[in-house]
Amino acid sequence: MQDISVPVHHTNQVDPICGMPVNGSSVIAEAVYIGVRYFFCSEECYQIFVHTAVQCITELAHGGDNIGHRCPSQRSGESDSDIRDHAESPTLV
């Protein structure tokens, strides 16, 4: 099988799903999409991006640095009812 590499023109140091800063030591997953490398702080954020990349990129292009999802590390210390309130997938426009 031929390896198809995509040129990376920019690396995003902020998780596009939850907005947490990520660097080499805190990266859980990464994806390259249309020449941009995105780093993720959690598998949950990565999976949201993988399944909704077009919607995420569209929302980011309209002025945000993240789509506002609360990942597991942001939810630590919250009560179970708070976690359930944030557990739904984000609404993307």
pLDDT 10s digits, 16-42: 888 889 987 889 999 988 888 899 999
Q: List pLDDT tens digits, range 37-78.
A: 899 999 999 999 999 888 888 887 777 666 777 777 666 665
* pTM of this structure: 0.65
Burial of 53 (0-12, 13-18, 19+ CB in 10 A): middle
Number of structural domains (the chain) is 1
- CA dist 20 and 48 (Å) reads 15
In the β-sheet with 10-12, what is the strand arrangement from edge to edge? Answer: 10-12, 36-40, 29-33
Structural domain includes residue 91:
no
Which residue range is the domain that position 53 belongs to? 10-86
Top-confidence residue, 61 or 86? 61
Structural domain includes residue 74:
yes
Does 87 have pLDDT greater than 60? no
